[in-house]
Structure formats: C-alpha cells, structure tokens
Structure 1
C-alpha cells in the first residue's frame, strides 16, 4: 500500500511528535475495530504514543499513523501502523466507516495494507466478529488482537483464544494495551503473516446448528440491532440478505465454539455503580459534582505554584533579560521593548497558568481512564434528543471542553449531514481549555474566595448555551430534524494507570506549550508592532505611549460597542480582538499592554491584577463585578480561535462557518449586555 503524507489538522493543538512518521516504503499495517474496543489504546502502546494525525488525502477524516518495530535490535522490521477510524462493519453509515472500507477493501490489491489487525472486544465478541466475518471475504492478511478479556471474565464469560483461532482460521493474540501485555506476541504474529502470500477470500461456511449462541447469543443479536442494521440497511437483493444471514449464523457458531460461562454470573461493580451513575436524576448530579471537584481543586491547589511562576517571570526573568540586553548594548533599543514588555510579559504571564492547565488535564485524564467520562453521554442523552441531535453527538461536545478543533473534526462520525452541521455550530459554545486561563485570571483577581465556583459556573453556562442555541437553531433552520436514542459501548470502571494518565496529560500539556511557543509568540510580536506604530503625537517607532499607538486607535474604534456591557475600555477591547487568534492571547495581550503602559507597577508580582481592577472599575462606572461576569460570558460565547474557524470551514463549508460566526458574536454581545445591565441594577 502506498504511504501517504499527512499534515496535522490543527497546528495549535497538535501535540504529536514529528518523528512519528515511519520511513518511506515501510510495509503498512492497519488497525481496524469498533469504537471503544481498545484500538487506539493499542496503537499508542505499539508506537509509544508517537502519533501523527492528519486528514487522509481527498477526505476530511483523520487517520493516525506511527512507526511500529516488529522485533528488537538491528533485526527489527519497521512498519507503518495506521489507526483507522472506528467501524462496526464494512457497510458504511458515516464518513469514518466509509474511509475505513475504502482503505481496506475498495482499493486495488497492491494498495491495500500488507496486514490488517482486527481488534476484537472479548466482552462483545459477537458484535466484533461481524467485522471479522466481512474482512475474511476479501484477500487480506488478517491477525486478530483480542482485547477486554479481563472485562469478559468479570461478566462471567471466558474466551478460549486457541479455540477462537481454530474457529476463525486466523492468528489470535490476547493483548492488554493499557498494561502493554501481549504486544510482543502480536508483533511476532504480524511478522509471520507478512511472510505469507495474501489468502484467497474466505466465506462463512461453518455448520450451523439450532440453538447456537449459548450465553453470547443475546449479545450477538443486540450488537446487530444496536447498530441499526449496518448490513441490512444497504442490501438490495435476496442474495445479499442471504449473505448477511450467513455471516450472523457463522458469528454465533464461532462464539459458541470459543466461549463458555465462568464464575457465578453475579453483577459486577460496574453494573452496580452504573445503577446510580447513569440514572436520570442521580447521574447528572454525580457528573456535576465530579466537575465541581475538578475545577475547585484546579483553582485552589495550583494557586501557590501559579504565584511562584508569576514572581519568577516578573522578577528574576525580567531583570535577567534587561541585564542581558544592556550587556550587549541593546538596552535602549526597540528590541528591549519586544523582549521585556512583549515576550517576557506576554508569554511569561501565559506560562504562569501551566500549573492550572496541568492539574486540570491530570484530573480529567483520571476520570477518562477510569471509564467515568463515557457516562456523560448517557446522562445527557435526553438533552441531546431535545435539541434534535442523536445522543452520540454529545461525544464531540465533550471533546470540545478540551479543544474545539478536534471536537469539530469528531462530528464527521455522525451519519446525518444536518446533524454534523448543527453539532459543528454548537461546539464553539463548549468552553475549551484555552478559555480557562482567562477565567482563572479574572476569578482570582476579582473573586478570589469564590474562584473555583466561578470557573465551575462558566462551564455550567456553557452547557446551558449549547442547549438554548441548539433549540433556537432547530426551531429556525431544522424544524423537522429529530434525534435518535443513544447506543454506545460503556467501558468498564477500572483503576487509572499512572502511565496512561501521565501520557495523556503530557500530550495535552505539550499542546498548551506549543501554543505558547508558536501562536502566542506570533500574536505577541504583532501586538508589539501595532503598539510601536504611532498614530498621534510626535513619538517615533517603539517610543510611542500605548494610548497613541495604532493598536490603541484600532481598539478605541471598537470600544463603544462594548460600553453597554461594562467593558468598553480600549485595553480590554484590544484583548478581545487578539483573542480571535487564540483565547490564551487575551491574557498575554493584557500583560503586554499594561507592562508597556505602566512598567513600574506591572513589573511587580500582582501588578497586572491591580491594573485589571482599575480598568474594570473605570469602564463599568463603579460596578466591576457585573462587568467582569459580562466579559467572562463574552469570552465563553464568541468565536474561539482561528484554528476552530479553519476546522469548521473544512467540515461544513465557508457559508455555515460564517453563519456560525454571526451566531456566536450576536449571542455573546446580547448575553454580555444582559448580564451587566441586570448585575448593575442588583449591586
């Protein structure tokens, strides 16, 4: 199969290492399997999490790629491992499944992967084997990676991998990706299969007896029905119907041969917890409680570390940079302003939020690895159907609370085009982690004792906005669109592993650092240039007072629009303008502006907080708290960043992206004005 180069879909949030790309000409091995079968976890275990993600040429669907070494030492064979989108079958009902089918079977034989590793969930064996049955009908070298055997055991199901291998006629390897068990055996199986010629297509010809299916029979039928009839929806004649029936009969025969009951069949801890965690009343309450604990811990535990970094950058780092420039004769040049008042003040202030972001990523990774976050889709299913979206549309929205860009990309998993468009328009209203830096700065400055509660409240407002905007769009643009029940595989509850939590958290933190080292440095440089160009007075370049600069003049032209919201001061408006690039830039632009304007005060620890208090006090006419809350609401609702706009354009087109910008700005302004005006009357 020909190797294609892929580029990161989101430069601002792509945290994968460039060295993930395998050598050109390496044999390609594709991982295929259903969502939540452990496929991507296995991919990370095999490649060491050195993953490159990009859109496959000619599509908008992302494919993971990484180098996998079969063997060890100098004799190790390097292969290009592809993490294909999750698919329940080869009869596509979404762009993701369509790409998987196209890359595996709808291309000429010479362009197919040399080996296909089918990831099979032992706890849902019948459903997983349906995909294997379809793969066997093509000329493909196949290896089966059997995952979730521990979960199957807790459900009183024992899968005999040797019996399964005999029934399938394929190599079967038991793997535990989370603990990296069985990966060497899998590498050996793939290496052996690579040496064999591609087999002829194999049908489903086992002898089927009445009553087969045993204890797995119900699960097999449930898997078929749970996917809405992947096969039957696309079959057009009797022969195809008979082939589908033959596949399912074969699957049940294989399940009957390879499994047997074990244990006493008592309910598992997962079942007992889910009785409360997914209930209509207690489920949402538990979810809100978990999120409150996360944000409360984030703002309180990280505060001392944040203060220490603030003192470091505003003290020794600033003094050291000034001394170094003076030592080389550049102390009185424009470069001093760029380095000290621009890069150190702007980027340094953003880096003080590193403890906050790190702790939040760690806590969310713990919830994710424990299996709890998947329950959020269940407890919000009714809400999603209320706004005309299927329950699984909540999954991209959950991703949006980390970063809006991959969340919009995740909408392609929805089979209905109108569902994809509506979800992509709602994702920007989910509060991404970049906005957290602004929330924490203003909350700790104006409401230090309630900072955690304020941040938690912003995430609640985000959820309410998604619902209300979704209802409004459905009532105006898609009146006839209805939702559908949620059908999702819930992973079992399990003890988070330090390696997985650390790896996931580090990848997210690295994405934050890449933003600070890339987009924010560029934004800081542009702001410095705009603040260095005089439009009034007789000052020269880089000597102009901030209020006489091109930056201030541009912000002052826009400021009257925000006076009804209580934050019509040009320094605040200018930060919002820069925030179109990235929300983290709001913090860096403030630090940069006030460092240039009042270097004596803002260079001290806490100096920026004093400047912000004075600015909001003045612009709000003595009502700073309502003005701050209005500003936070505007930050939440208006356009997240240019990377999000690029993702929207790629997924739903320029016209719908422009519609989305109009909706976001309108909602943000109206809500900010309402919050300030009501808050001013109450205070």
Structure 2
C-alpha cells in the first residue's frame, strides 16, 4: 500500500494523516477558556485490553480496594470512583477489558456503551507496554471516536526487564500528538503526570491520527457518510459510524438503519480494515519499539511445563494439592490460638451471666447459641486466611490464565471453551463473583451452562465443613480427604456439562480459546493484601450477620415447639422438621434429624452447617480437640461413622449454593424458573452423589 503521512513535518512514511480539531488555535483557546470556568467533574474512563492494569490504576487513583488479578476477565462490570487534581474534581470509571470496539460479550458491551453514550469526557487508554503491538489496535479505534484519548503506558518495568526501549518522543507523533504518559499502577508512579494530562487534554479537545485506508475502502466510507448525512444530518463521529457500517457492526446498523445499501456494502470489509490498521501499527512498532525480539525467558521456561498438553493438568492438580497442604498444616497450627480465645470467651461470658443472675434461657441463647455458633465458625479463620493467601499468590503471579489454556481441550469436549473454566476457578473462592464472571462468555447458552456447573466447585464456605469432619473422622488423612472433595466437585462439574452437551440437539464443539497469557511476575504485596482482606472481611461479615442470625434462629426452633418452650429438644420445631426429612436422607446415611436440620440451615450459608452441629449437639467449641471428640462420640452412638461423614461432605459439596449465590444466579439469568430448576437439579445431584458414596462404601467396606 502506498504510504504517506502529512503533518508535523515528518515527511512521507505511511497512509495516515495526523489530525487536529477543526477551527485552529482560536477554537482551542475558546475551548480552554470555557473549560476553565467549568467546575463540573471531568469524567475519565479507564479503557484497555483485559489484564493491562486498569483496576490497579483505578485503585491507585481513588483509594478503592477492588479485586485485581494477573489474569483476564476479573472486572465484569463498570465501577465508579472519585479523585481530584489541584482542586478539580474528577470522576473515574473502571470499565471491563476489551480487545476492540466490536463487542460480543456482556462486559464488552458495557464498555462500548459507556464510551459511545458520551458518559466519558476523557479516555485513558491503559496499555500493557510490554505488549504494545497488540494493545495499539484498540488505541487506534478509540482515536477514531474523536474523543480526547490519553495513552497510559503501564508495566514499563517489564519492558525494562526485557531490555526493550520505547521512543517516548516518536510514539506520540505517530499517534497524532495524543499525550503518552508512563505510569506504574503497582508502584503508583506517574499518577500526577497522568492527571495533569487529563485536565489539559480535556481543555484542548481531541487529537489523534486519522487513518486513510485503501482507495476502495475510502470510497465506501465516503458513500456511507453521504447516506448517513442525508438521513440523519450532521452526526458526531460520522466517519467512525461509516467504518462500523463497513464492518457490518449490528449495534450501529440497528441504531442508524439505512436503506438500499446493498450496492455500496457488497461484502463485509472488517477483515480488510483490521489488516490495514495493523499495517500502520507494525510501522509504529518499527519506528518506536526497539529490542522487541528479546523474550521473557523465565516465562517461556516455566510455560514449557505449565502449559504442556500432557503435564499441564497434573501440574495444576499438584499446585492445588500444595495449597490444601498449607491450608491444613499452617492453618491448623494457627487455629489452636483461636480455640483458646474462644474457650476463654465462652467461660468468661458464662461466669458474667451467672454473676448477674441472668435467666437460664438467656444464658443458653448467648453461650450455647450465639457463641457456640458464631465462635465455632471464627476458629476456622486461619484455614480460610491461608487458602485465600495461596489463591491470591496464584492469581497475581499470572498462573490462573494458564489453567484455562490447559483445560481448553477438556472443556471443548463438553461444548465449552477454556474461557468457561475461569469462572469455575473463581468458584474456589466464592460462587457469587464466579457466576458474575460468566459475563465474559459470548453466548447465553455458554453462560447458563457455566452457571449450572460452577456451584459444584468447592467455595471457601465449604472448607470449615471439610476441616471439621475430615479431622474428626479421618485424622491421619484429613488433607487427602478434603482434597478429594475438590477433585470430585471438578469431576462432577465436567460430567454434568458433558451430559447436557450430549443431549443438546444442536450441540457443537466449544469455541476456540483466545486468551492472553500474562507474564509471570512476583505477586504485588498490596494487591495480595487487598484480595485477602476483602475475603476475610466477607467471612467476618458473614459470621457477624448471616451466621449470627442463623444461630439465634436455630436456637429458637430447637427450644420452641407447638406447646411453647420445651425442655426436650426432641419435642421442638427443629425435631419435627428434621424427622420429616430424615427418611429422604436415610439412603445416604444421613438419617438423623439433626443432620437434616443442619443441611437446611446451610442454605443460608454453607458455614452454618458447622455452627448448626455445634448448636444442635451443645458443643461450645466444636473445632477444638475436646469439641471434636465430644461430637464424634455423640454421633457414633447414633451409628454415624466415617462413611456417613464422607457422604455428608459429598452432599454439602454438591447441593445448592447459598442464598446470596442463588440471588446472583437469578439476576444474571433473569429467570426465576431457570434458577429454581437449577437449585432442584443440584439437590438431586447431591442426593444421588451421597447415596452412591454411602451405599457403595457400605457394600465394599461392610
């Protein structure tokens, strides 16, 4: 293609024109004067490819503590915050990552809509400077919108580590004199310079290159512009709309329909436009980026194992085994101190209530209900802390994206892509964000199937159940037993997806996976701290609200019956409900009415299953050695042994998620019918799984 650049005194180099706003210096001076008198907040949108550091930069500007991770797809909805620069208020919007303005998935549409609807005054295009060529495609599209765009070069430390250099004078010239600012979201450097550029560029108005495509494409653009102008008059971004018509962009075509375009739009020009954009991007890279062929040797060496078609999955299973080894060994060591504190609190509260001559029912409610229920859950905090700390290290190191890549072939066999495995990985932490992360999938079909199987992944709320019953009934193999449950959850999720796919009349192979494999890096301490604190805070919040209220409610239904307060718990409402459900659970070895009540209470939050056992059996510190010995003795008298315990853990693994997760599923699917059907399906799967484990185990081991 014949290349010619005009402007900036740069001579002839390529097929672009470095554009300036129409009207010259007088117009720009007027704009500056108007904006100086304008005191309203400047709205800034962080836009960029997935995993380029937008959320980390947002946190640095606003002081927020949003979740960040070194893998794509973490941000799935827009988040707003506020900042200021020299007294000028600035509204900051963190938008989901996109690779281009051609949107397919829900979060891509969220970002595009925010930009197109005029909500954003200035676009900060955050780019991974170590992958400049890939990131610049979105940059070129943003510039075509004729909005003020600032290029924020993030991750410059990786550029320096690789020995690469970016010409910071030539790059802005090649992009049409848009501001280019070096920042480090992790180290919080370059923030003042970026905010200065925001205010200045807001007053100056848009700059940027105007790409002139081949003569054929330019003729088509001019014809579409004429048709748009004839029907709609003057429009903002007329050229951008015309280009989108050539790409058969359905959003633009539906918003501004034109008739009799068949002679102009003879075929889809999207591929040709993309290729011509990349022609110029390659030219920019040749001019501005040096030593780009130096590879990240460490990442390549590690990926020979982590993404190996044979050894990749065993490596993932081995890493998760290490995570649970640390969760049990280190967590149990720290747990002892929490148990001592709970014992002291329980005894001190009992002595205090006795000394003030509190009524017996009040003492029972506080000591046997609240402290036993909530306190029992808090003793598992060290295990939860270690689990989330390990997961935070894995996420921020860049490993999680490799798991999706490795699992792509397996997921393809069940009609999904490896991208669907990312929400499942999030399910190890919490089902709620995992369900929300399915927005990154393109089709409603893929989203619903992924939502269906994601709750089978063991969330952190189930960990206290595994820790308690594994250590109580399998003291020498507790780690192995707990780890087996995570593998069972993964296996059931894949099997359910396979069965659904097999019965789909329109079944097809999963979509091909296009996912960024980020550089391995040392986890950032602040990012890890934010992640862990957020999860621990949620756990404590749940202990102080859901579990607190559930413990009180459980105490009342245990101490109230049709005749009022009861002395014998077997006459209570809890016993009545439990006895009615016991026959259904008996084939699974869970025929005790107390077990049925505990499982019902677990629908509010899975941790409540543990606190329910504590309250139902009157064990003040169920997680202590004495508490576990007391509970196992009571259960043994009722014929509840190790096989029953394993069946119980399998049931808790597979049955429906907590109320918060169910509400999220309803919001994401928009259907109560589908949501309730999913809940009933998971209850059925849990029942069948527990029955299979108990009956088969009883047959084999007698």
Instruction: Indicate whether the TM-score tops 0.5.
Output: yes
Q: 2:166 aligns with which of 159, 163, 176?
A: 159
Question: 1:15-68: CA deviations, max 9, x gaps?
Answer: xxxxxxxxx974321111111112222222222334499xxxxxx962222233
Tell me if structure 1 keeps the 8 A contact 2:78–2:110.
no
Q: 2:573 aligns with which of 550, 554, 571?
A: 550
- Return closer, same or farther for 1:625/1:492 CA change in 2, 3 Å cut-off: same
Tell me if structure 1 keeps the 8 A contact 2:178–2:208.
no
- 2:184 maps to 176
- 1:199 maps to 206
The answer to which of 441-450 and 162-171 deviates more is 162-171
Q: Any idea what SS the aligned residue of 1:161 has? A: coil
Asked if 1:654 corresponds to 2:672, the answer is yes
Q: Any idea what SS the aligned residue of 1:496 has? A: coil
Within-5 A mapping of 1:387-536 = 387-477=414-504, 479-535=506-562
Q: Distance in 2 between matches of 1:604 and 1:365?
A: 26
Displacement of 1:568 after TM fit? 1.2
Q: Distance in 2 between matches of 1:45 and 1:274?
A: 31
- Return closer, same or farther for 1:576/1:266 CA change in 2, 3 Å cut-off: closer
- 1:38 maps to 53
Within-5 A mapping of 1:535-614 = 535=562, 540-541=564-565, 544-595=567-618, 605-614=624-633
Displacement of 1:145 after TM fit? 0.9
Displacement of 1:398 after TM fit? 0.8
Q: 1:319 aligns with which of 326, 329, 347?
A: 347
Q: 2:636 aligns with which of 617, 621, 631?
A: 617
Displacement of 1:360 after TM fit? 1.1
Q: 2:77 aligns with which of 51, 62, 70?
A: 62
Number of matched pairs: 612
Tell me if structure 1 keeps the 8 A contact 2:77–2:110.
no
Displacement of 1:323 after TM fit? 3.3
Tell me if structure 1 keeps the 8 A contact 2:153–2:180.
yes
Q: Any idea what SS the aligned residue of 1:485 has? A: coil
- Return closer, same or farther for 1:428/1:615 CA change in 2, 3 Å cut-off: farther
Displacement of 1:205 after TM fit? 4.3
- 1:3 maps to none
| Structure 2: gaps spanning 5 or more residues | 1-38, 69-74, 216-243, 251-264
Tell me if structure 2 keeps the 8 A contact 1:33–1:87.
yes
- 2:156 maps to 149
Q: Distance in 2 between matches of 1:276 and 1:296?
A: 22
- 2:339 maps to 310
Tell me if structure 2 keeps the 8 A contact 1:40–1:83.
yes
Q: 2:297 aligns with which of 246, 268, 276?
A: 268
- Return closer, same or farther for 1:634/1:116 CA change in 2, 3 Å cut-off: same
Q: Distance in 2 between matches of 1:253 and 1:239?
A: 25
**Bigger Cα Rg:** 2
Asked if 1:627 corresponds to 2:650, the answer is no
Q: Distance in 1 between matches of 2:246 and 2:413?
A: 29
TM-score, normalisation: structure 1: 0.84
Tell me if structure 1 keeps the 8 A contact 2:248–2:268.
no
- Return closer, same or farther for 1:475/1:25 CA change in 2, 3 Å cut-off: farther
Q: Any idea what SS the aligned residue of 2:520 has? A: coil
Q: Any idea what SS the aligned residue of 1:512 has? A: helix
Tell me if structure 1 keeps the 8 A contact 2:99–2:135.
yes
Q: Any idea what SS the aligned residue of 2:172 has? A: helix
Tell me if structure 2 keeps the 8 A contact 1:68–1:80.
yes
Q: 1:259 aligns with which of 289, 295, 298?
A: 289
Tell me if structure 1 keeps the 8 A contact 2:67–2:530.
no
Tell me if structure 1 keeps the 8 A contact 2:148–2:207.
no
- Return closer, same or farther for 1:230/1:668 CA change in 2, 3 Å cut-off: farther
- 1:8 maps to none
Question: 1:341-368: CA deviations, max 9, x gaps?
Answer: 1211100000001100111111111122
Displacement of 1:481 after TM fit? 3.1
